[in-house]
Amino acid sequence: MKDKSKAIGISLMAVILLVVSQIAAELLASVFVVAGIPMGICNTVAGLVYLYFAWFLLKLFLEKIMHLKSEDYGISAFSVKPKWMVVALLLPLAVIGSYVVLFPGEYVASGADSGKIFEILSAGIFFTGIGSGFVEEMVFRGIIFHALEKAWNRKMAVIIPSVLFGVVHILGMNFSVGSCLLVILAGTAVGIMFSLITIESGSVWCNGLIHALWNIIIIGGGLHIGDKAHADAVISYVLHTKSFAVTGGDFGIESSVISLIGYMLVSVMAYLMIRNRSSRKEKESVSHQDTPAAEAE
């Protein structure tokens, strides 16, 4: 019971530090705005500060307060495997390509000037993309995942943060019941995908990169895909279909069937990698056990 209470406490503190880091970054950006610094630069600073604050506070909490190794919670030295770099780029591009090729629509330009475009893209790249992408992975697939795995088991560690990840995305939103259910389903699916990548790679950085590039390409403001044009997008691809499954409902294409298929394919890929690695280890273990007997003969 003590270990489980400790795991819950660590998880809650990780979420609190995420919120604190985000608020601190936004407050600093607000000071820059008051000082007359262009919004695009403020967005850039906010995103990078958000990432650094969160990384610093999470490591401080684990190592100095809890006396734990941050590496044991997925926050190791930064390293990304090439195969996951490829997935990070292909997943969002495949989803966009599927929409453009399979579903008729029309492109609508926002007509924004260069200053507004810089503002939109800087927020999408540095805050929504790099900041939120990596910080959420450090918290959900780093600290919470490993804390629950140590207190319960790996299955619980995969399922609970994944469902929580889906629920978090509907908090404070005025979505329909159908959209809420779709978001929870999609959020859980993508959470499971990120968890499997964490298990396969041994850290949060591979899925952090995938999460960041997904946010930049899909919701970063460069190209918006939906059933209507988006005010904060440089270009919108307005779908002619109003199908709930295709548009993703109130949340958008991140919770659509197209994106769900993408999450599932990557999850299967990660699962097979994990299983193949386990099989190789078992064969190597059996081989080592058989060697002494063979030598004795």
Residue 116 lies in a domain: yes
Kind plus residue range of the DSSP H or E element containing 238: strand 235-239
As a whole number, the mean pLDDT across the chain is 92
Residue 51 lies in a domain: no
Residue 291 lies in a domain: no
* pLDDT score for 291: 63
**For the whole model, what pTM was predicted?**
0.92
pLDDT at 297 over 60: no
Cα gap 229→151, rounded to integer Å? 46
* pLDDT score for 290: 66
Average pLDDT over residues 193-220: 96
Residue 58 lies in a domain: no
Cα gap 54→14, rounded to integer Å? 9
Reported confidence tier of residue 16, pLDDT bands at 50, 70, 90:
very high
Q: What is the total count of domains within the chain?
A: 1
Of 26 and 161, the one with more pLDDT = 26
Reported confidence tier of residue 52, pLDDT bands at 50, 70, 90:
very high
Residue 44 lies in a domain: no
* pLDDT score for 278: 86
Cα gap 115→268, rounded to integer Å? 42
Mind giving me the DSSP string for 51-103? Answer: HHHHHHHHHHIIIIIS---GGGGT--S----HHHHHHHHHHHHHHHHHHHHHS
Residue 64 lies in a domain: no
Residue 59 lies in a domain: no
Residue 219 lies in a domain: yes
Domain that residue 205 falls in: 72-280
* pLDDT score for 285: 74
Four-residue CA torsion sign, 223, 227, 228, 232: negative
Of 58 and 172, the one with more pLDDT = 58
Sequence-separated (6 or more) residues with CB below 8 Å from residue 252:
219, 225, 226
Sequence-separated (6 or more) residues with CB below 8 Å from residue 70:
58, 59, 62, 63, 76
